[in-house]
Each structure stands twice: as C-alpha cells, then as structure tokens.
Structure 1
Amino acid sequence: MSNYSIPYHDIDILIPSQKFEVNFSYTSSQMPNFIDSMIMRLLRISPLSVKNIAKFLGMNQRESRIVLDQLITNNEVELQQDGLFHLTNKSMKYFTTVDSIPKVASILEHTHSLIYELTNFNYIAQKPDNNMYGIKLIATSTHAANSENIVRDRFQKQFYQLIEEDIITLKKIEGRPSIYKMGTVKKVKECTVRKSLDLHVDAQAEPQAIKVLDSIMSDELKDKTYQALGQSKKGNNIRDILNNLDGFEQLKLNQYFKDGRFLAPNALFDSINPIESKSSDGNHLFIGPCYSQSNSKIILNKIKESIAKNHQVSSIYWLAPDDVFWGKSLRFNTFINALGQIKTKQNTDLQLKCFLPMHDEQDRTSVNNYRKIIAKDQQKYFYGIKDGILDGNFELIVVKNEFAVIVLHVLDSEAEYLTSFPFGSISYDKQLVNGLVSLFEAWERPKDDGGISFGQMFKKHSQS
C-alpha cells in the first residue's frame, strides 16, 4: 500500500500556445555522382590529361570528355594552358583533406509549422486543442506580443533537437544540415494544448506532486498551474455540506467529517476497502467526480445492467455542483457522449437532463462559461436552474426507478488538495431515488407553480 495512488479529481489545463509557420534555408553536403566524384578525387591529387583520366577510370577518351565537359559547365573543373585538367576554386572547397571524399554544399528552402507554448516557449509535439473542457492558463502579455521574435531565436537554438526528435523532417542528405538563413517566422493562430493533471493522493490521502508537468520542463508553467488552481480553490464549504445532509442519512456521509474538517483518509480507506454492512444495502463510495474514468464506468455499467434486466429506464437527471473545477476535463465530454448514446430496450433514446446552476435567466456570464465546456451537439441535454440548491456543493445523478449517485464537492481550506475533493455514494434505495426524482420534477415546474428551472440553457442564448 505504500505505493498506492488514486486520483481525487479529474482536471485538464489548457496551455496558451500559438501555431507558427517557420521559413528557413539550410545547407547540406552531399556526394556528387560516382564518376564525377572519382574524377575530382583524381584531380585533387594531381592535374591530369583526358588520356590519363580515361585510363584510370577504364573509359575511352570520348566518354571521359563528355563527363569533363559537364564538370567544366558546372565550374568544377577547368582545362588550363598546360593541357591538363585542374579543379577550380569552387570544387577545391568540396574537400577537407587531400584523400577525402568530395561533398557538395547545397542551400535548400524549407517551411514548417510548429506549435510553441507561451510560458517558456517549448515546442509541443501534439495537435492543438479545441479550447474547451479545462482550466485555461494565461500567458504574459510580453510573451504573447513578442512571440514571433522569441520563436525565431528559440527555433535556431533547438534546430538540431527538432531534427533528432523527427519534429522537422528535411530532405534526406548525408552529413548534418545547418541553418543558412532564417526567413519569416509568422504566427498563424492562437491555440491551446491540453495536459491532463494527475491529481492523486497516496494511501494516507496525502496529495502527490503533479508529475505530468515535468514533461514540459518549465518552472513558469508549473507556477502558473499551481497559481490557477490556487485562485480557483476558495473558502471552506464543510459546514454548508453538513447542513444539507438531511435526507441523505442512510448514506452515512457525515461520518467523514469531524470538527469542521474533512476526513479524507477515512473516505479513501472505505472506497478501497468496502465494508460489508455498506455493500449489503447497495452503497458504493466514490472518490472523484461522476465523469472520472472509474466512476463513469461504474455508472454507465449500472444503467446498462438495468436496461438489460428489462427495467423501465427512461430518464436520467443530473445536477451539477456550483464548483469551478467541475467539467474541466475531456472525460466530462466523453461521459456526456456515452450517456447520450445509451438506448432503451425499445431502441429509443433515454431522456437526459443536466441542470447547471445560474443566477437567473439573464445570467449570460454563466451561459458563456458553460459554453466553454459543452460542445454544440451536447447542448440539447443542458438546462439552467436557480443557483444555491444544496448550497451548490452536491452533484446528483438520478436514474429514475433505479439508483442515485450523490457526490459532495468538498472544499477544506486547511487541507493541501489543489482542488475540491469530490466523494460520495451510490444508492439503490427506492425511497431516496424516488424522492430525488420528485425534486427534479418539482424544479422543472412552471415559475408560477414554484419551479426554479430556466428551461434549455442554450436555446435562448445561441449567440455568445
């Protein structure tokens, strides 16, 4: 257990980057063809007549003269007054020593597209991202404004590394190419590059270092990541959570809090060591949000199992927490897609409704923020709802007639976790499940009947 590690949240960061088109010329050395090379090697030792050249090469004088004429045209060989053929100043430079093989220097043009992140200007060997489902870091204004000049300098310093790592593929040549002249370095577009943070705790629920950032090798990027997470994690919501656990007593989630603190080690222990008394009543302890890799797999399998048993599964309700870290992962998108593709036994779509907290119907800030984590083809599943439900700290997924998942998004200001710490339970208790379904149905009622839902979120806000 000493090496045990478990993810406690699922967060991606979006690294500010730019795509550049880099134009440059480079020199390369390549051997002339075999006959030309042999003639030049002979003349490097000593000037010769056409007769002697032909004799050395086993050719007749006519064949030798044809080759020599082409070398004269290329200004690589000349016939001097002594009647002998000599190398020119140009071809003499092809040799490093008297007995070396001649290498012809060429100047070739090349244009290549590269992506550089804007914190430390490391090139990124991956495709740019769609700029959604993540916490976006902000580049310094000086880096963004002077990026073309910085990349011009950085590219020249990294040239051989780019070649060795096959980031740049040049024309196949012998020898090592070198930059002859830098052309234009043009910023093509702004983009982001995604990195999934490995937010893990050990067996004692102590947070572990984010290892994925080491691959970028940028202290500034690490600082910006920790800064962005720190700014987003605000306050302590444990008292509010405890005040809203009425009605959820059977899940026994209050046992993981004491003296205003979250007992994460206890929750972690129970999640990996299920207690018989708990497993017997259908409960399962989750660590992480509903869309995390392990949790989403459990939830999706439970839904499919219910359908396979001919249970009348028709509706799925999902209440999002008012948590800045929620939905900031590509797995959020993957989970929604998977839920949307589930079919009933009659091959009809399940009715999926996800409720997102917002201040009121005119809360365009929330709409625009949610637009950054919800793809257009998924917007039909999302509805606005008045914020403040359960103080915004609960994530609920309720499958009508089947089960409910209750996840608390805990903020403990005295703990060292970089984000909120989601944990919760799944229950098959019909009274609890039906009670939550009734709540969702009540929230959906018209305003004059006490409803607090604002209807489909993006229907009235198609323009950003």
Structure 2
Amino acid sequence: MKGVRTEGSERPSIYTIDSVSKLTQDPMRLTTYFAIDQEGKAIEREDFDNLDDSSEVHEAITIALNQSQKGQNIQEIGLAMKSFGDTWTKDIFNSNSIDIEALGHRYAEALLDDKKEIPFVGPIYAGNNWEHIRKILKGLPTSFMKSKEKAAKQLTWIAPSDAFWGKSKKLEFCFNEIEQAQLTQEKNPQRIYTPSIFLPLTDITDRRTIGAWKNEFRKGSNNLHGLIEGFLGGSVEVIVLEGTFAVVCYHVSRPETHPVSIPVGFITTDLKLINTISYIAQDYIGGASSFNKKHNLGLLEKL
C-alpha cells in the first residue's frame, strides 16, 4: 500500500511524529462555580474536567479573586436595607452567610402569597432567579393591551460596583430579553417601556472601564448608560419597571470567609415598595456629587 509503512507484524503506520512545535496559543474560557453549603459556608472549588491538572488555574483564580475583593460591607448593606424599608432580607442571614433553611421557608411563603417579596440568592441573571423576571416580561403585552394607559414606562437597571458582577454570558441573554420585551409583537408594535441600563464608572475620564463595558456588551449599546459609581455605597443592584415590579440585590462582601461577594435580594410587585425603590434609584441617577459632576453620564457609546 503506497504511503503506508509496515514493520513486521505491527499495525500499518500512516504517520510518524517525533517532534511537536507550538505554532499558536489560544485562550480557553473556563467556568467555575462558587457555592455555599446548607450552613452558608463556602464550598471548595471543583477541578476542571477538561484539564489534566487544575492546580495552576486555581492558583491564578485565587490571585485574581484576592485582587478584586472588597472589604467587608455589612454595615453598608444594612443602611441600604433601611432606606428601602427592607426588614425581611436580614432574616435569611446567619453567622456564616445565608441560612438556606430560612431562605427556603421564606421562598415557600412568597409562592403562596403574592403580596410577599420573593427572596433569592445568587445573581439576578442566574437561571432560576431570572425565570421570575421572564414570567413578568412575558405577561406585559397582555396587561398593556388591557390597560387604558398607553404611555411607555421606564425600566431602569442599576448595576453594582462589584468586580464579580456580570462575569457570565447569561447576563447578555438577560439584556437581550429586556431589549426584545420593550415592544408589543404586533404588525405595528407599540412601546411598553424604555429600558436604561446604568453601568458604574469612577468618572467620565475612566477610559479603561468605558472600553471594557463597550467590549463586553456590544449588542445592547442603545440602552447602556454610564453612571458615577456609589449608588447606596456601590454594593446594591436595582431593577425597576414603573408600577410593575422591582428587584433589589445586595452584593454582600465577607472576604474573611467567602472568596466572592454573595448576591442576595428580593423581587416585589408591591406598588408602594416599587415606588420607594424607583424614587431612590431616580434620585441618585438625576443627582450630582458636586456642582459639575452629574451622576448620569449619558449613553455609553457616546463616552
């Protein structure tokens, strides 16, 4: 057989490779999960299945985490809770972090009583958490068509100043859903709401962060705005759709026991609470930290 070498009774050899040279190097995206156990204690990270040895990667992750961590912010979170009149979220905390049993009880109560806030742990864009928002968004066209009031509402999303926020492709999918749900699905679509997503910046000259946000969320450029960081201390995330729903997520930092911040919060459809959250959010967005330093820096694509 031409091109095939055989040696005695051995199997045919088509190619013989006796040297390997590295021609190029490509990045590999790895996903790691940070979790807590039933008592709220941090669980050790698992190794990566597609790597023979995960030790060097884990070491690099640990270094990056240590560089990104905030200091402890429990007092700051407590003040934010007080400003919203939130007296319930503290009940799902324990001395470690989250009391999983208490969270489960509170969640079960909320499912039986529409007036109660739905608690959640983890990023709002995580699958189980976002499903609650998706359900609300899907119901908007029907309620819009039944309503006599056709004026477009305002949907506001304020991102936290947290290094661990948004480090997942899931967030971009959520942004896309927000984008697509703003209009009714008719031959002549009507606007249900106008979305504005505010991303934190130190100031208008923060070119590095501006560039990073633009690169990360290219598709949603029409809705992305720059906002001077510091909303309720910087560790609070808010999503509000006027008169419809609101989400508050506290990003709790406890670097002495947990390698990343712990997102915990609630979803509400209570009109009074929605109005309170909306007022606090809009007051910050429309405010200024000094005479010539407005918080709202405008569309990100124009910065």
Q: Give the TM interval when normalised to the shorter protein.
A: 0.7 to 0.9
- Aligned-partner Cα distance in 1 for 2:298–2:64: 32
Matched, 1:377 2:219: yes
- Aligned-partner Cα distance in 1 for 2:83–2:34: 31
Report the AA paired with residue 236 of structure 1: Q
Q: 2:44 aligns with which of 209, 212, 228?
A: 209
Deviations 1:370-393 (Å, cap 9, x if unpaired)? 23432x221221111121110001
2:228 touches 2:295 (CA, 8 Å); kept in 1?
Answer: yes
* Cα RMSD for the two superposed structures: 3.0
1:270 touches 1:285 (CA, 8 Å); kept in 2?
Answer: no
SS at match of 2:5: strand
Q: 2:90 aligns with which of 254, 258, 272?
A: 254
Deviations 1:30-68 (Å, cap 9, x if unpaired)? 7xxxxxxxxxxxxxxxxxxxxxxxxxxxxxxxxxxxxxx
Matched, 1:296 2:137: no
Matched, 1:395 2:231: no
Bigger Cα displacement from structure 2, 331-340 vs 306-315: 306-315
Q: 1:425 aligns with which of 266, 270, 278?
A: 266
Q: 1:238 aligns with which of 64, 74, 89?
A: 74
Pair member with larger Rg: 1
1:324 maps to what in 2? 163
Offset at 1:340?
Answer: 1.1
Report the AA paired with residue 356 of structure 1: L
Compared with structure 1, are the counterparts of its residues 205 and 451 closer, same or farther at alpha carbon in structure 2 (3 Å cutoff)? same
- Aligned-partner Cα distance in 1 for 2:197–2:210: 14
Bigger Cα displacement from structure 2, 343-352 vs 295-304: 343-352
In structure 2, runs of 5+ residues without a counterpart are: none
- Aligned-partner Cα distance in 2 for 1:179–1:269: 61
1:409 touches 1:421 (CA, 8 Å); kept in 2?
Answer: yes
Bigger Cα displacement from structure 2, 432-441 vs 443-452: 443-452
Compared with structure 1, are the counterparts of its residues 343 and 178 closer, same or farther at alpha carbon in structure 2 (3 Å cutoff)? same
SS at match of 1:192: coil
- Aligned-partner Cα distance in 1 for 2:111–2:299: 38
Q: 2:205 aligns with which of 352, 362, 373?
A: 362
Report the AA paired with residue 267 of structure 2: I
Matched, 1:29 2:9: no
Report the AA paired with residue 134 of structure 2: L
Instruction: Provide TM-score, normalisation by structure 1.
Output: 0.55
- Aligned residue runs from structure 1 range 342-361, under 5 A: 342-345=181-184, 347-348=189-190, 350-361=193-204
Report the AA paired with residue 12 of structure 2: G
Deviations 1:160-183 (Å, cap 9, x if unpaired)? xxxxxxxxxxxxxx6354525548
SS at match of 1:433: helix
Offset at 1:228?
Answer: 1.8
Offset at 1:257?
Answer: 5.0
- Aligned-partner Cα distance in 2 for 1:308–1:212: 46
Deviations 1:349-397 (Å, cap 9, x if unpaired)? 54111111212222213212323432x2212211111211100010111
- Aligned-partner Cα distance in 1 for 2:294–2:211: 23
- Aligned-partner Cα distance in 2 for 1:325–1:303: 26
Matched, 1:229 2:65: yes
- Aligned-partner Cα distance in 1 for 2:153–2:278: 12
Report the AA paired with residue 199 of structure 1: F
- Aligned-partner Cα distance in 2 for 1:449–1:308: 44
1:282 touches 1:426 (CA, 8 Å); kept in 2?
Answer: no
1:404 touches 1:428 (CA, 8 Å); kept in 2?
Answer: yes
Aligned residues: percent identity?
A: 22
- Aligned-partner Cα distance in 2 for 1:244–1:353: 22
Report the AA paired with residue 206 of structure 2: D
More strand by share: 1
Report the AA paired with residue 328 of structure 1: K
Matched, 1:270 2:102: yes
Offset at 1:451?
Answer: 5.1
Compared with structure 1, are the counterparts of its residues 234 and 443 closer, same or farther at alpha carbon in structure 2 (3 Å cutoff)? closer
SS at match of 2:81: coil
Offset at 1:277?
Answer: 7.0
- Aligned residue runs from structure 1 range 82-101, under 5 A: 96=8
- Aligned-partner Cα distance in 1 for 2:302–2:68: 29
Deviations 1:118-171 (Å, cap 9, x if unpaired)? xxxxxxxxxxxxxxxxxxxxxxxxxxxxxxxxxxxxxxxxxxxxxxxxxxxxxx
Q: 2:116 aligns with which of 239, 264, 282?
A: 282
2:41 touches 2:97 (CA, 8 Å); kept in 1?
Answer: no
Report the AA paired with residue 29 of structure 2: R
- Aligned-partner Cα distance in 1 for 2:200–2:20: 51
Bigger Cα displacement from structure 2, 298-307 vs 276-285: 276-285
- Aligned-partner Cα distance in 2 for 1:252–1:185: 57
2:154 maps to what in 1? 315
SS at match of 1:272: helix
1:384 touches 1:453 (CA, 8 Å); kept in 2?
Answer: yes
2:227 touches 2:297 (CA, 8 Å); kept in 1?
Answer: yes
Compared with structure 1, are the counterparts of its residues 360 and 394 closer, same or farther at alpha carbon in structure 2 (3 Å cutoff)? same
- Aligned-partner Cα distance in 2 for 1:440–1:314: 15
2:231 touches 2:284 (CA, 8 Å); kept in 1?
Answer: no
